[in-house]
Amino acid sequence: MRYLITGGSGYIGTRLVDRLSRREDTEKVVICDVAPPRTFVPKTEFERLDVRNAEGVRALVERVRPDVLVHLAFILNPSHDEKLMYDVDVNGTHNVLDAAARAGTGQLLVTTSAVAYGAFADNPVPLTEDDPVRGVPDFSYARDKTESDRICQLWAAQHPDRVMTIVRPCIVFGPNVDNYLVRLWT
């Protein structure tokens, strides 16, 4: 299996790359990120690429021809530049999905966020995967993740012959995590 992981140098990406590289059926894991991974493991390649670069993303997906494309790239730490955050989170997602469609990638896994559901009193308990995403519009991170999620849902409907998995994780903590949320609570 050939994997392409955007945001593969981040916390979740690093752990996923490590696990995939240990699988016998893994031929190659290509890490696509603006920063190199802290460590390199067998069966991996690194490509420095920003998901905002639509042509670069298209060329990489076309060259790698992954069996599975995992899109983890996003900005978590508030940059106070909402345009940059939107450009990476929403336009970057669009670029990745467009490249996957053109290359015929059969399986995609995209992470958005649990914040895409929105914290509303009328949310069903428990929330299910089929409940609508309607993030809090005043929180740019939630707004961007909600839009990215909707883009993925639309892509899946337009490409019924492909497998699209949307994962909506909550805040992730662990060893070596360094972001503003960890600093806020430690």
Domain that holds residue 173: 2-185
Kindly report the CATH number assigned to the domain that includes residue 43.
3.40.50.720
CA dist 162 to 12, 48, 61, Å?
24, 27, 15
Average pLDDT over residues 105-129: 91
SS3 assignment, position 107: strand
Average pLDDT over residues 53-62: 99
pLDDT tier, 122 (very low <50, low <70, confident <90, very high otherwise):
very high
Lowest mean pLDDT among 49-53, 136-140, 142-146, 153-157: 136-140
Average pLDDT over residues 9-20: 93
The number of distinct structural domains making up the chain is: 1
Average pLDDT over residues 29-39: 95
pLDDT at site 78:
59
CA dist 34 to 12, 51, 92, 155, Å?
15, 9, 12, 25
Average pLDDT over residues 66-72: 98
- CA angle, 177 then 85 then 114, to 5°: 60
pLDDT at site 111:
94
Q: Are strands 2-6 and 44-48 parallel, antiparallel or unpaired?
A: unpaired
pLDDT at site 120:
87
